[in-house]
Amino acid sequence: MRYNNRPPHFYQDESLYFLAARTFNNAPYFDSDQKKNIILMAFSKALEEYNFRMFAWVILDNHYHCQVRVEKGTDLSGFIQKIHGLSARNLNKLENASGRKIWWNYWDKCLNSEKDFWVHFNYIHNNPIKHGYVKNIKGLASYRFCSYNYYLKIKSQEWLNSIFAEYPVVDFALDND
């Protein structure tokens, strides 16, 4: 199904998606742990409401990325609207800035292979390095707003290293990322 949007969104049922969203004018609206937690809460509510499964995620000051499995592709826009609506309302309430525009747009990519899945998985986890939040892979363990720590705990550093080695990230940066 195609919608009039830039970039266009193509929705496919029972699929894995890589999602990216940025703030209006790339403003660093989520520049503290308290503010990043607002997005985490919004993720949680949206995942619960739409029954999506999230595989990887990262939150930075002016954008986020995540990887989700959807049952019904057309639910993707509602999922994003839930995240953006909740996080914008809660951030604006926190900063007494009612009605301020927080989010600009979102991008989605349907992941069509195992390689595509793992390269995007690694891209998400490398994002704090790419944007200077941490210096290297070792530093990712200290970055709280990324699913890297989840996999470090349930899998291992060795497993993560093997995924990074087998599916290296080619910097396929999205516009304005």
* SS3 sequence of the chain: CECCCCCCCECCCCEEEEEEEEEHHHCCCCCCHHHHHHHHHHHHHHHHHHCCEEEEEEECCCEEEEEEEECCHHHHHHHHHHHHHHHHHHHHHHCCCCCCCCEEEEEEEEECCHHHHHHHHHHHHHHHHHCCCCCCHHHHCCCCCECHHHHHHHCCHHHHHHHHHHCCCCCCCCCCC
Indicate the domain borders of the chain: 15-166
- Range in 48-57, 123-132, 166-175 with the lowest mean pLDDT: 166-175
Average pLDDT of the residues of the chain: 92
Flag whether pLDDT at 4 surpasses 60: no
- pLDDT tens sequence across 13-38: 999 999 999 999 999 999 999 999 99
Dist. CA 104–CA 157, nearest whole Å = 35
Q: What does the pLDDT average to over 94-107?
A: 95
| Fold classification of 15-166 (topology level) | Alpha-Beta Plaits (3.30.70)
For Cα atoms 149, 151, 154, give the angle at the middle one, nearest 5 degrees. 110
Q: What does the pLDDT average to over 133-160?
A: 95
**Residue 169 φ then ψ, to 5°:** -85, 120
Structure confidence at residue 9 as a pLDDT band (50, 70, 90): confident
